Structure 1
Amino acid sequence: MRKAAVVTLAGIMAINMIGCANQTVEAEEERYMGEEYENYELFPASVEGFIGDTMPFYDDGKYNVFYLADQRNGKQGYHPWALIQTTDFTEYEDKGVVINYGETIESQDIALGTGSVIKDDKGIYHAFYTGHNDTFDPKEAVMHATSSDLENWEKIPSDTFTGAGKYSTDDFRDPYVYYSADDKCYEMLVTTRFDNKGVIVKYTSKDLSKWTDEGVFFENDLGTDSNMECPSLLQYKGKYYLAFSDQWPNRVVHYRVSDSLDGPFEKPERDTFDCNGFYAGRLETDGENLYVVGWNGTKKEHQDTGEYDWGGNMVTHLLNQNDDGTLSPVLNPEINKKLIHELDLEPLKMTETVKADGTTYTFSGDKYEMVGFKNLMGSYLLKADIKDFDADGMFGFCFNTNTENVGNLNIIFNGANNRIEFYNGSNIMEISAQSYVDFDLSKEKELHISMVISDGVVCMYVNDELAFTTRMYLSQGMEWGIFSVNSNVVFENMSISK
């Protein structure tokens, strides 16, 4: 239940917009902010449709991100593996499908699932993937293919194996393979169920062909029985990191930290990178940089008011290793290098109780206050510093503002609830947040915000501490703004670049 005194929407709308600047833009003269500059595809979709679970593999200076291609075309088979390549996660080359699903309903891999890629000591690439067939028992199996160039793959059906006899026959998927120098063998993590609980199990192999079951590697420690999907495990700057996504109830990406490849893996105080707008994140590193690569889902019928679909646009967070070994998502500096054209942020409208001084806006705490700006279209980087706020205040960013200057899409710092929240509706006092992360506003003196807006995806970074990713189709082409509800707050150093 909301801790703050509930303000009815009617009360919110008793706003002091009388003093709004009466700046209007004639339809025939309307232009979007920064439309004369190049647009970057920062959150790519797929040449096949949309991007599902990602499987990043760094090799020879390039990130090769294999992904489940969400084709949504009604064919009998589905989710082939496709490949998109990048060096900096700002520009991409999509190769399309590289491993297709099986050809008949009798094929174990009539649907492909998540897996991973590794290169052996002879330079041969090995893909391990999930073969899924709803008519089979076991329904899921781990399968193997090899390649010399990452694009042309030969399947090896004889290497297929399942967890039948010990683990779940319906949940046995998402193999992640790495080499253990200590044990001098390859190891594979698999998502499955054991004793009616989600677990990650380990297999070992000397030849990447035959695998030996080594038992449960990691048990669900979330207080639920959820499956832990899309595991990844790697070493980065002296620590070992295990990441996975809970299939229910929250559907977010978690991570654990250890000093050893074999654990024990400890849960950090903040064990997530993002909210439920980011899923199936896999870790990968080039030795210097560490990333988590996942996806932001589309929405039902591509409507902002809808629930999330499976699959959408690829989203990647650069991860900073803190002094205590924990990880925090931060803005990729390569985006800063791309979006360099700072635009004029002259307000279109402003509540008369808000004081403006250049790029600083001081809200008085009088009911609902708002500053509105011109329509956005394309890829943008919005930055702001927020200070002098009430510890139990409510303020944030609004998109697709309506005729009453309230956002139909709202990212809110809700001090009373100790959360950052996303509402995909204007009546934030009567609907539930579609996404949220825990965030104690009382512990923060200032908020430093970097927000990337591109391709219907909005990704906000807060204090180099967390990311908050949401799907907002109408973050494009519509007016937007900053607002406060009965809260003192100052937004300063506001800037937007393209």
Structure 2
Amino acid sequence: MSQRGFYQPEGAWVGDVIPWEQDGVFHLFYLHETRRTPKDGMPWHRVVTDDLVDFSEAGESIASGGRTADDFNIYTGSIVRAADGVHHVFYTGQNPTSVGADGLPVQLVMHATSDDGMRTWQRHPAHTFGATAGYETADWRDPFVFRDEDAGLWRMLITARHAEGPVRRRGVIAQCTSTDLVTWEPAEPFWDPRRYIAHECPEVFQWGDWWYLVYSEFSESFTTRYRMARSLAGPWIAPQHDTIDGRAYYAAKSAARDGRRFFFGWIASREGAVDDGAWQWAGTMSVIEAEQRGDGTLAFHPAHELRDTFARQAGAIECGTRLDAPDGYAAMLTPMDAGSSFRLIARFEMAEGTTEFGLLLRASADGDEGYVLRLEPKRGRLVFDRWPRRKTGSEQWQISGDVPFAIELERPCLLTPGEHILDVIVDGDLCIATVDDATVLSTRLYDRPNGRIGAFVGEGAITISDFAVFSRGDTDTDELVPGDDLLAALT
């Protein structure tokens, strides 16, 4: 796959990523999904990067244990390094032929170590353990291990479910503790909101005076969320905007370097590689950077390393253009199609009372067909839309998704009158939109591989203060406008 700043293995897909940073290099272990039938077992593969743009394949890291092994499927886990320099990996082992009392495949926590810099791993089957009393045997996964220096021990967070209670609200982050990374003792649940089916891929980290708990909500939402606390003991606060991205970006886990924190997740593919296809498990790895605000809440945007790969300024809409439609709709498009990969930075001055405004992507010459990134100030959200949609019948209302937008692709954001910036990266079938350098929406663009770009307003007025398009390619000193330098100027 040639998309710089993203990663997808040849002929396969990236599942959950287990990031580990060491000596300035990110080692990104991931669940290698081939989608073969019958299943051939889930291994971990690894890629490495030092610039978050170019990824070097290191191949298979931990192989499937085989068809009769407890770890036929190796699912998500975590890596730590002990004081003696040995790396420890804790991962989920699962075999569909091994079922628990509930009749579902048992999930187990398993252990392996490496004393050669993570090149090879030695399994320790004697250290395997399953769900402790009071938890379902079929949900005991995604162990996240970290050192609690204050308590002088290691903590392991585990995605689990209570054995009793309302089925949709049994999700809990269970906890075990250890002093030697070998023997683990059950402890009180780390977080028990009694709200979701499960909290997948949990992790915690400290940043300044705040602790953060990150998890992927296994429910109808399928999104990665975070909580905040002043200590590991909580209480955990839900910020107003608590999601990292939308439905298409899942199982994000983070690693830090030089005071910066990056989340590594995957943008889901769609079945059949069409816009109407169902979301699939696994996809393309994408990196999102978090920034900490003064109140501890987090803002999210693509890393500048990715943004800076788009260096050559291409076409644009004239600055100062005003679109005024107090009770209607107005749009302006570029005269030529955009390339298959580009970065678009648009700054809008929005008038008070405006109902909607935003960007058109890969649009027809008249703007009637294409993809839409629509900001809706009265509802406080960014939504993704497209037209046309697949027809499901002969009547006017019988169209695919009888809804006002792609319901799963909605992001809350504060849109007060005044200036707002939409920063969009389109790279092949990938699209990552960012509002005001704080709110990210990732998705796929399959059905329309090219088209024009533009801006629009509905029931209101906007002034397009800046509208700059950047493509990839060799730089030219007369045309080069570094993307992040421009964004800094705009803000």
Judge conservation of contact 1:362–1:489 (CA < 8 Å) in 2. Answer: yes
Matched to 1:166, the amino acid is G
Partner of 2:112: 145
Alignment of structure 1 residues 469-484 onto 2, 5 Å: 469-474=442-447, 476-484=449-457
Partner of 1:299: 270
Partner of 1:369: 330
Matched to 1:438, the amino acid is P
Partner of 1:49: 12
- Shift in CA distance, 81/280, structure 1 to aligned 2, threshold 3 Å: same
Deviation at 1:229? 0.6
The separation in 2 between residues aligned to 1:108 and 1:308, in whole angstroms, is 29
The separation in 1 between residues aligned to 2:403 and 2:220, in whole angstroms, is 22
Matched to 1:71, the amino acid is T
The separation in 2 between residues aligned to 1:376 and 1:461, in whole angstroms, is 19
Give unpaired runs (5+ residues) of structure 2. 101-105, 390-400, 472-491
Partner of 1:324: 295
Q: Percent of pairs identical after alignment?
A: 25
Partner of 1:192: 160
Judge conservation of contact 2:350–2:417 (CA < 8 Å) in 1. Answer: no
In terms of fraction of residues, the more strand-rich structure is: 2
The separation in 2 between residues aligned to 1:102 and 1:389, in whole angstroms, is 61
Deviations 1:109-149 (A, max 9, x none): 11121111111111111111111122223411111111222
Matched to 2:369, the amino acid is G
Deviations 1:47-69 (A, max 9, x none): 45111111111111111111111
Aligned pair count? 445
What SS class does the counterpart of residue 335 from structure 1 fall into?
helix
Matched to 2:376, the amino acid is N
Q: Does 1:227 align with 2:198?
A: yes
Matched to 1:107, the amino acid is A
Partner of 1:84: 47
Alignment of structure 1 residues 271-286 onto 2, 5 Å: 271-286=242-257
Partner of 2:24: 61
- Shift in CA distance, 424/73, structure 1 to aligned 2, threshold 3 Å: farther
The separation in 2 between residues aligned to 1:335 and 1:432, in whole angstroms, is 28
Deviation at 1:201? 1.0
Judge conservation of contact 2:228–2:237 (CA < 8 Å) in 1. Answer: yes
Q: Does 1:128 align with 2:95?
A: no
Deviations 1:244-271 (A, max 9, x none): 0111121111111122133222211211
41-50 or 90-99: which moved more?
Answer: 41-50
The separation in 1 between residues aligned to 2:19 and 2:321, in whole angstroms, is 42
The separation in 1 between residues aligned to 2:203 and 2:337, in whole angstroms, is 40
The separation in 1 between residues aligned to 2:216 and 2:113, in whole angstroms, is 27
What SS class does the counterpart of residue 158 from structure 1 fall into?
helix
Matched to 1:123, the amino acid is G
The separation in 1 between residues aligned to 2:128 and 2:258, in whole angstroms, is 32
Judge conservation of contact 1:319–1:327 (CA < 8 Å) in 2. Answer: yes
- Shift in CA distance, 215/136, structure 1 to aligned 2, threshold 3 Å: farther
Judge conservation of contact 1:385–1:446 (CA < 8 Å) in 2. Answer: yes
Matched to 2:154, the amino acid is Y
Match of 1:170 among 138, 148, 160: 138
Judge conservation of contact 1:46–1:96 (CA < 8 Å) in 2. Answer: no
Partner of 2:235: 264
What SS class does the counterpart of residue 76 from structure 2 fall into?
strand
Deviations 1:6-53 (A, max 9, x none): xxxxxxxxxxxxxxxxxxxxxxxxxxxxxxxxx751222124511111
The separation in 2 between residues aligned to 1:240 and 1:276, in whole angstroms, is 25
Alignment of structure 1 residues 84-483 onto 2, 5 Å: 84-104=47-67, 106-138=68-100, 139-147=106-114, 148-194=116-162, 195-196=164-165, 197-220=170-193, 224-345=195-316, 358-365=318-325, 367-373=328-334, 374-402=336-364, 404-426=366-388, 430-433=403-406, 434-441=408-415, 443-474=416-447, 476-483=449-456
With CA pairs under 8 Å and 6+ residues apart, which has the higher RCO, 1 or 2?
A: 1
What SS class does the counterpart of residue 209 from structure 1 fall into?
coil
Deviation at 1:361? 2.9
Judge conservation of contact 1:85–1:92 (CA < 8 Å) in 2. Answer: yes
What SS class does the counterpart of residue 135 from structure 2 fall into?
coil
Deviation at 1:431? 4.5
The separation in 2 between residues aligned to 1:407 and 1:390, in whole angstroms, is 28
What's the TM-score, normalizing by structure 2?
0.85
The separation in 2 between residues aligned to 1:41 and 1:290, in whole angstroms, is 20
Give unpaired runs (5+ residues) of structure 1. 1-38, 347-357
The separation in 2 between residues aligned to 1:475 and 1:325, in whole angstroms, is 40
The separation in 1 between residues aligned to 2:61 and 2:331, in whole angstroms, is 49
The separation in 1 between residues aligned to 2:94 and 2:458, in whole angstroms, is 49
The separation in 2 between residues aligned to 1:432 and 1:120, in whole angstroms, is 49
Judge conservation of contact 1:386–1:447 (CA < 8 Å) in 2. Answer: yes
Deviation at 1:485? 3.0
The separation in 2 between residues aligned to 1:397 and 1:277, in whole angstroms, is 20
Deviations 1:321-364 (A, max 9, x none): 11111111134222343322111236xxxxxxxxxxx2343212
What is the root-mean-square deviation of aligned Cα atoms in Å? 2.2
What's the TM-score, normalizing by structure 1?
0.84
Deviation at 1:287? 4.8
The separation in 2 between residues aligned to 1:312 and 1:471, in whole angstroms, is 10
Deviation at 1:416? 3.8
